[in-house]
Structure 1
Amino acid sequence: MIRYYVLVEGRVQGVGFRYFCQMNAANLKLTGWVRNMDNGMVEMEVQGDEKIIIKFINTINKGNFFIRIDSLSKKQIDLVSNESKFKIK
């Protein structure tokens, strides 16, 4: 089990990116949260099996017709216990 803080830059606000992240995280049984930042970027924390998180990051990095990722960075952080789902904040 591992947890990452992820920072995403690109066309990620106003295009359904947070919902896209939540849907994919839920399908992969990952927990955490995602939220818009005032500077136009999106930040999230995601927790689960490292291989599954890499799959999640690869999926969101591809985006869709509306979403465009210009840069994505991740940093390992401390686990959060008793978290049950992936939320939009």
Structure 2
Amino acid sequence: MKRVNMIASGSVQGVGFRAYIQKIAQDRHIAGWVRNLADGTVEIEAEGPDDLLNRFIESIRSSKTIFINVHSLQVRDISVTNEQGFTIRR
């Protein structure tokens, strides 16, 4: 089990990205949250089994739809909190 903090940049605000991330997390049984930051990036904290979390990270890194385009994803390990569920923070 591990937890990461991520900062996504690119076309990630105002395009449904947070809901998209929440859906991916729920499908992969990943816990955590996602929120917009004032500088136009999106912050994500996610926690789960290593293999599932790694697939979740790769899904985000390769996110490209007609509106969403992740140009950069910074990932760093943080302490596990045993959080349940995945929420969108305002």
Task: Give the TM interval when normalised to the shorter protein.
Answer: over 0.9
Q: Residues 1-89 of structure 1: matches in 2 within 5 Å?
A: 1-63=1-63, 64-81=65-82, 83-89=83-89
Q: TM-score by structure 2 length?
A: 0.93
Q: Offset at 1:62? A: 2.0
Where 1:21 maps in the other structure, the secondary structure is helix
Please give the alpha-carbon distance, in whole angstroms, between the structure 2 residues aligned to 1:3 and 1:66: 28
Where 1:26 maps in the other structure, the secondary structure is helix
Alpha-carbon RMSD: 0.8
Percentage of pairs with the same residue: 38
Q: Offset at 1:17? A: 0.5
Check conservation: 1:35, 1:88, Cα contact below 8 A.
yes
Please give the alpha-carbon distance, in whole angstroms, between the structure 2 residues aligned to 1:67 and 1:61: 11
Check conservation: 1:2, 1:47, Cα contact below 8 A.
yes
Structure 2 residues without counterparts, runs of 5 or longer:
none
Where 1:34 maps in the other structure, the secondary structure is strand
Q: Offset at 1:4? A: 0.1
Q: TM-score by structure 1 length?
A: 0.94
Q: Offset at 1:49? A: 0.9
